[in-house]
Amino acid sequence: MLIGSYDLHRKVIDQSILSDPAFLGQLTDLSEQAALPGPILQSILPLLNIYYLERIEETALKKGLSTQAIWRRLWDELMKTRPSSLESVTCWRAKFMEAFFSHVLRGTIDVSSDKRLCDQRFSPLLHSSRHVRQLTICNMLQGATELVAEPNRRVLETLASSLHTLKFRHLLFSDVAAQQSLRQLLHQLIHHGAVSQVSLYSWPVPESALFILILTMSAGFWQPGPGSLPCRLCGEASRGRAPSRDEGSLLLGSRRPRRDAAERCAAALMATRRKSEVKQMPRAVPPSRVTRRSTQESLTIGGTDSKLYLPATSYEASGTKQPSAPAAASSASSSTSSKRAPASSASQPKSLKRFKRAAGKKGPRTRQGSGAESEDLYDFVFIVAGEKEDGEEMEIGEVACGALDGSDPSCLGLPALEASQRFRSISTLELFTVPLSTEAALTLCHLLSSWVSLESLTLSYNGLGSNIFRLLDSLRALSGHAGCRLRALHLSDLFSPLPILELTRAIVRALPLLRVLSIRVDHPSQRDNPAVPENAGPPGHIIGDEEIPENCLEQLEMGFPRGAQPAPLLCSVLKASGSLQQLSLDSATFASPQDFGLVLQTLKEYNLSLKRLSFHDMNLADCQSEVLFLLKNLTLQEITFSFCRLFEKRPVQFLPEMVAAMKGNSTLKGLRLPGNRLGNAGLLALADVFSEDSSSSLCQLDISSNCIKPDGLLEFAKRLERWGRGAFGHLRLFQNWLDQDAVTAREAIRRLRATCHVVSDSWDSTQAFADYVSTM
């Protein structure tokens, strides 16, 4: 059927017409040439498959036609998931095509199952790849092999220019072929592409070789894998070059990647599931001995950290010079056959020892080439054992740690990376719930010390333990580079060997150019006097008492563990942060209201640029005078008191004082009071802030979780109408008792919407109370 024989004035188009390929092609050509009338185009848009709909998009926009509703309906019918309430979707077309690409890549959607997805003239991956801004790789690296395959070369080239964020979720142990594919993928997307952010989520037992591969490639280092073809984009010379050591070998010398206890357990489980023979743990041969100063015993594997972080074993330095790779290998081979040395020889440096296989047991082997040693990561284990006759003196098998000053990595056993080619690197690195063993932490710190392109670093619940000292040294070394761009650091963990305020001071000293610092420690330090690793510098190098130099900090967020915090330490950080614009304190506890007042006075005197101040989960019932002091501050634009028990004491006297302070403040724009049991009486008292005699310019009010009932909200709305203040901005009403009288609540919200933008929810207060009681 031809366009010329078709009645363009027809208002209803038969769907059978759109099954004719010739008609679809001519129709699309006409639309792109602007020869198709707008009404006809509007009537056929819902009937097109996604390929022609995407192709005709630009023409539709030129005619003033929006396709967002069509893409939203396709999302609801095909993806069958509801976007997060926190997500604001600006373009449903891009969102649909990005999700469609991921489903096709993983094989979780059958394009032949729906005619809107199936068209033999289009490649689903190639057609949708230009819309992909974020790609997630899960489990056993599904999709990596498909993307680097030759038939998908154009897909990968398109991704290299469109993709900005690469995420890894729930990774499992992978084989050598999958890692080799990932190596090529990262090389194309990062080194020759536009990827600027790499994020790793929820990896309970990280595979050392895979983790190091992702880190080194993200940092811009490139070593072709054994037997891999030359990269056509970077013009490597010959195909017959000798296989180069991969990043793991490059960073860790000639030794094999090690496994800690958790990794071995996970590997055994995976082997059982695959019905392979489970390897037995051989009896430990005593490794080389390392003596420590008494002040460092608290950081050994026998200390607290090893119990709290199963994957994060500690390797401490012996103080002896690290042998070269050949010497280490030779020494290792000779020591395996030698007998156990007597205890009196503890002061003599011993060679590296390696454990043999259990007799008669053979595990799976993976060879990189003929004549090569087995590279099975589970064949070589690292066991830390103590000798009974030595009491508390611990032994380790390899020299692993030392000062990270960025100038001599050989002191760590981590040779310099000059042998690798250096390419473009990412600017944002995020590690969420990825436990870091000492090996992984050393690799990360070694890379960080010269990662000048990095602008934002997030380390969330990684079990750093005593490795935090090495991290501080690497950040200090990075800050010494003239081209350092690191401006945002987000650090959170269950425990820290340093108290949180000492850790904050150390970070601010190490990174004086930092703009954003978010730090959280959930539980207090297990040591009153934290020890420092031997080669991490003197104690004063990290936790000195000297004054903090002036810094560029603009945003500071701190989440405190339980226990009173020393106000002078916090004040010292605030005094050095004259550019601070936003401060957030979560769960902070001070010894007395006077200490809290000291912090507020410091803010008033030294932080004149402060605009936003937030307090969460703090008991401020005894700090009412300090709260009034804040509300009278004429520099703050936004204040948050979230679950701070403000009205627990003297509410009748305190509320009028609070309202009076707010009525006289013309600079405060936002006030957030969630979770303070304001009630109807408190809400009606706050209504006076918007009276005719008020000079307040408040335009954002958050009264969520404040036990507000419908009748009180209705009276609040009537008072606003009576005073005729007009629209004042946003009002948040989440999780209040508005379900007790739905009719009154709807009437109150209707009246409020004539005054402000209301954000509420359909919260079931009865069920919430029942859930609360059930957990008591």
Q: How confident is the model at residue 456 (pLDDT cuts 50, 70, 90)?
A: very high
pLDDT above 80 (res 79): yes
Q: Would you state the pLDDT for residue 314?
A: 33
Q: Would you state the pLDDT for residue 265?
A: 42
Q: Would you state the pLDDT for residue 85?
A: 63
pLDDT above 60 (res 344): no
The answer to whether the CB of 314 falls within 8 A of the CB of 301 is: yes
CA distance 495 to 28: 61
What number is the average pLDDT over the span 64-89? 82
Percent of the chain at pLDDT > 90 equals: 47
Specify the higher pLDDT residue, 590 or 372.
590
Specify the higher pLDDT residue, 282 or 734.
734
pLDDT above 70 (res 9): no
How many Cβ atoms from other residues are within 10 Å of residue 733's Cβ? 23
Give the closest residue to 466 by CA, choosing from 692, 269, 300, 221.
Answer: 300
Specify the higher pLDDT residue, 301 or 665.
665
Q: Would you state the pLDDT for residue 415?
A: 39
Q: What length is written for the chain?
A: 776
Q: Would you state the pLDDT for residue 600?
A: 93
Q: How confident is the model at residue 765 (pLDDT cuts 50, 70, 90)?
A: confident
Q: Would you state the pLDDT for residue 48?
A: 74
Q: How confident is the model at residue 253 (pLDDT cuts 50, 70, 90)?
A: very low
Give the closest residue to 639 by CA, choosing from 681, 590, 582.
Answer: 582
Q: Would you state the pLDDT for residue 637?
A: 95
Specify the higher pLDDT residue, 343 or 634.
634
What number is the average pLDDT over the span 593-605? 93
pLDDT above 60 (res 689): yes
718-746 pLDDT tens trace: 998 887 665 578 999 999 999 899 999 99
What number is the average pLDDT over the span 574-601? 95
Give the closest residue to 67 by CA, choosing from 84, 59, 21.
Answer: 59
617-658 pLDDT tens trace: 999 999 999 999 999 988 999 999 999 999 999 999 999 999
Q: Which residues pair with 166 in a beta bridge?
A: 135, 198
Q: What is the mean pLDDT of the chain?
A: 74
Q: Would you state the pLDDT for residue 542?
A: 56
pTM for the predicted model, two decimal places: 0.74
Distances in Å between the alpha carbon of 156 and those of 191, 192, 286, 537? 13, 11, 50, 46
Percent of the chain at pLDDT > 70 equals: 65
pLDDT above 50 (res 360): no
pLDDT above 50 (res 713): yes
Which of 8-12, 470-474, 543-547, 724-728 has the weakest average pLDDT?
A: 8-12
Which of 19-23, 298-302, 695-699, 703-707 has the weakest average pLDDT?
A: 298-302
Q: Would you state the pLDDT for residue 256?
A: 38
CA distance 397 to 351: 9
CA distance 330 to 315: 21
Q: How confident is the model at residue 56 (pLDDT cuts 50, 70, 90)?
A: confident
Q: Would you state the pLDDT for residue 579?
A: 95
Amino acid at 299: L
Beta carbons within 8 Å of 675's beta carbon, 6+ residues apart? 642, 643, 644, 704, 705, 706
Specify the higher pLDDT residue, 683 or 361.
683
Q: Would you state the pLDDT for residue 43?
A: 67
401-420 pLDDT tens trace: 333 333 344 444 443 455 56
pLDDT above 50 (res 372): no
181-231 pLDDT tens trace: 999 999 999 999 999 999 999 999 999 889 999 999 999 998 776 666 777
Tell me the three-class secondary structure of 631-691, residue by residue.
HCCCCCCEEEEECCCCCCCCHHHHHHHHHHHHHCCCCCCEEECCCCCCHHHHHHHHHHHHC
